[in-house]
Structure 1
Amino acid sequence: MRKFLVLLDDSHECLNAMRFAAMRASNSDGVVLVLAVIPAAEIQHGFGVADVMRAEAQERIEAHYEVYAKWMRTRPKVEPELIIREGDPGEELIKLLNEDPEIGILAVGLNSADKSAQNPILTRLMRENNLPCPITIVPSDLSKERLEAIT
């Protein structure tokens, strides 16, 4: 089974990466894994506050994920799987890639409108020497029609 991995975050470019992964999975009988990472800096430790903050972060992630998941289930007819981790997003992404040998493609969104914008995840991935799968960079300004034609 081919798995397509996408990182869920609050960026605009995440949308096209999700679309790309879902359409490719649909056309190849694959699965979409959606990784969301709660940055450790967002969780303050002490007196139960960390547990409350973690639960709130998970609720936000699940609500955000459901928007994409609903579209994936109805349009390209793919059932995505949500994975939530805590830590550094780049490190957790690389860990997951190394843990699951069935991941065939990592789809990463690129903000093509702002040429000066840096994508810290993509920068981190480019420094890795031994990635276990290819990276597909999906420009944020590709239309739905163009994505459908590509996938």
Structure 2
Amino acid sequence: MRKFMVLLDDSRECLNAMRFAAMRAANTGGAVVVLAVIPAEDIQHGFGVAEVMRAEARERIEAHFEVFAKWMRDRPKVEPELVIREGDPADELLAQVAEDSEIGIVVLGLASDKGGQNPILSRLLRDVSALHCPLTLVPGDMSKERLEAIT
């Protein structure tokens, strides 16, 4: 089974990437892996604080994921898988692709503002050979209707 992996974050463009991945998976008999990364710098170390911060970050991620998962289950009828990792988002994305041989496509959302930087995309484009599958970029300002038409 081919899996579409999409990165879960707080960006607006993440929504279109999720929609695209779910609709493509539904239309091709695939699955969706939602990767969430807790940046290492967000975790303060010492006196048990790190574990509390990790637990809080996981709770936020799981709640955020559940919003998308409910839509995927109800609408395109896809059961997404959540993977939570800790570290640099680009490095963890590459590591997840390397560890899961069923991931066939990575889907990233693109910000619609011209000045916005996407550090994950920049990192992936600097070392394209590190990504062993196609990368699909989904514009954040693309309409739902257009997404449905192309998936």
Q: Same fold (TM over 0.5)?
A: yes
Look up the SS of the partner of 1:117 in the other structure. Answer: coil
For the residue of structure 2 that corresponds to 1:27, the secondary structure is helix
For residues 20-40 of structure 1, the C-alpha deviation after alignment (integer angstroms, 9 at most, x for no partner) is 000000001110000000011
Name the TM-score, length of structure 1 as normaliser: 0.97
Q: Distance in 2 between matches of 1:90 and 1:106?
A: 12
**Whole-angstrom CA distance in 1 between matches of 2:21 and 2:117:** 22
Tell me the percent identity. Answer: 74
What is aligned with 2:121?
122
Q: Which amino acid aligns with 1:68?
A: F
- The Cα of 1:97 is off from its aligned counterpart by 1.1
Amino acid at match of 1:51: E
CA distance in 1, matches of 2:100, 2:70: 25
SS in 2 for 1:77: coil
Kept after mapping to 2: 8 A contact 1:7/1:35: yes
Distance 1:7 1:97 in 2: 12
Unaligned stretches of 5+ residues in structure 1:
none
Aligned to 1:44: 44
SS at match of 1:142: coil
> Over aligned residue pairs, what C-alpha RMSD do you find?
0.7
Q: For residues 52-90 of structure 1, give each alpha carbon's deviation from its aligned partner in whole angstroms, at most 9, with x where no partner exists.
A: 000000000000000000000000000000000010101
Is residue 138 from structure 1 mapped to residue 138 from structure 2 by the alignment?
A: yes
Structure 2: give runs of 5+ residues left out of the alignment: none
Distance 1:78 1:22 in 2: 7
CA distance in 1 between counterparts of 2:21 and 2:88 reads: 23
Q: Is the 8 A contact 1:33 1:82 kept in 2?
A: yes
Q: Which moved more, 1:124-133 or 1:137-146?
A: 124-133
Report if the CA contact (8 A) 1:4-1:107 is conserved: yes
CA–CA separation in structure 2 for the residues paired with 1:15 and 1:32: 14
TM-superposed CA distance for 1:93, in Å, is 0.3
* Residues 84-126 of structure 1, C-alpha deviations (whole Å, 9 max, x = no match): 00101010001111111211110000012x1010011111110
Matched, 1:65 2:84: no
**Code of the aligned partner of 1:37:** V
SS in 1 for 2:128: coil
The residue correspondences of 1:2-151 to structure 2 (distance < 5 A) are 2-112=2-112, 114-130=113-129, 131-151=131-151
Measured in 2, the distance between the counterparts of 1:29 and 1:128 equals 30
